[in-house]
Every structure is written in structure tokens, then in C-alpha cells.
Amino acid sequence: MNLHLRRLLAVSVVVVVGMPSRAAEPPFSGTIFLDGDIITATDPSTFESLTEAGIGRRTMFDRRVNGWVTLDALLFDARYADGLAIEIQVNPEFGDRAEARTQAMEYAPVIGRLPHCLRTDVETVWIHPGTEPFGGGNHNLLIHTGQARRYERDGILEETLVHEASHTSLDTTHARAPNWRAAQAGDAGFISTYARDNPDREDVAESFLLYLALRCRSDRIPPALAGTIRRTMTCRIAYFDTLNLDLRPMVCSEPPGAKQVDHKTERGRLVP
């Protein structure tokens, strides 16, 4: 076990010993709704190109029927400047190829604004009509365009995709990892009731969005929100810090007022 994780576990033990028998009530119901400025349409995207790839038989999940459907999807290959590529599979209900391309182009650049670490396991994107929740996992991002318009109206399209891509690229490795369990135990509670009620399925995704807000967008979020994140997610923040995740194209630094540390020797140590 490396030095960073030993420190994390030490913090967890101290906090668990000293914490009250009843965990603190989560400060939020869900994290995607808190701030629409974490990633915006004016932020840089790694998206480079979209190429038509014909029509192919694909099995996709469609929340409108709450099940799997096999369709002759319209296919597009999206390529990104950091070397990643995604096959975008568009439901043929959208009609002709021109409209399908419009749908693919609507979301390919948005996905390119997400950190590299959240796109590493995204191999496909499913795009369906309908006002149904997004989804993540299965090496995929699921988009229903009616719901996307609602998220855009509320200014949280990118934030929602961060949440779903966290399921896709982080959950498998981290959601049940021993040191993530230690971080959960070390903190006084959960950042949201959604995370608390689904600790194995939703805690990583609910927490990682606000980790990004604190580490990469501290100049955009209210100080009160930053303080709540630090207090509630102390050990989870330290856990994410130890991972040395590739957050490009986001430019990240320590939050204002944080103690500056030498990341060669102190990375993973929580700032005051």
C-alpha cells in the first residue's frame, strides 16, 4: 500500500473512532442540480471530428420500454484530440441520416468537455427520442433527447453527463474498492440522499461531480458550497486525489484558500 493510501486510511480510522453513532444528514438530495457552471458550453472540448459509419444492427437500452431493443442504428464515429474514440448509435426513429447526424453532433462535443478519465471506458453512446433519464455503465452513455433538452434548459447537461460517465468509467474500479469503503466510513456521511440511499451504486458518481467542482471550478461555485463539499467529503476528496486522474480538458488547481502542497510528496493529503 502506498504512502498516500496509508494516510487516507489513517484519517478514516481517526474519523470513525471520533464520529457520532448517527451519521450526519446529507446536505443535498442530488448533486447534478447544484451548479450549472461546473462545465459550460463555452469550456474547451477535445472533440475533433464526426464521421458517418453507415447503418448497423445494434442492441441498445431504451428507457421508454425499460428494456433492450435491437435496431438498425445510424452510426457515427466521434474522435477526440486525446486519442479516444466513441461510436455514436442513433435510433432510426429520428428519420434520415441528416437528422441523425444533427443529433450526434449535438452531443459529441459536449462529451468532449468531460474529463479524459470519465471517457476512457465510454465505447458507445445511444441516442433515443423521449423524455427519460440518462444512463451510464455498460461502456456506454445513454441519452434521451427530450430529457437532454430539459437538462439544457436547466443548465446541467454537462453535469449530468459527468455523473453518468462516472458510472461508466469509475464505478467498476472504485465503487467497492477497499480504500473507497474506508473513505466512506471516514467521512461523517454522504453528500446527497441519493448517494446515501444507494451507497454502492451512486456514491462515486454523486461525489465525483463535486470533487471536480472543488478542484477545478472553485472560482465558479459559491464559497458556502465549497465549504460544504470539504466538510462532507473529506476522505472522499483525499481518495480521489490519490488517483492522479487525467482531468483534461479541464484545468484544475487547489481551491482558493487551500494550503498549497508539494504534490510530488504530499498528493492525497487533504487541505485544511
Beta-carbon count within 10 A of 155 CB? 15
Average pLDDT in the chain? 89
Strands 47-62 and 85-90: unpaired
Q: Extract the C-alpha cell encoding 27.
A: 446536505
Beta-carbon count within 10 A of 207 CB? 28
Average pLDDT over residues 232-248: 97
Above 80 in pLDDT, residue 1?
A: no
What is the pTM assigned to this prediction? Answer: 0.87
Q: For residue 46, which phi and psi values (nearest 5 degrees)? A: -85, 0
pLDDT score for 269: 27
Average pLDDT over residues 110-127: 99
In order of 33, 115, 224, 241, the CA distances from 220 in angstroms are 15, 17, 12, 20
pLDDT digits (tens, 9 = 90+) for 142-198: 999 999 999 999 999 999 999 999 999 999 999 999 999 999 999 999 999 999 999
pLDDT score for 18: 43
pLDDT score for 23: 76
pLDDT score for 117: 98
Of 121, 233, 222, 236, nearest in space to 171 by CA: 121
Average pLDDT over residues 59-63: 99
Average pLDDT over residues 14-20: 43
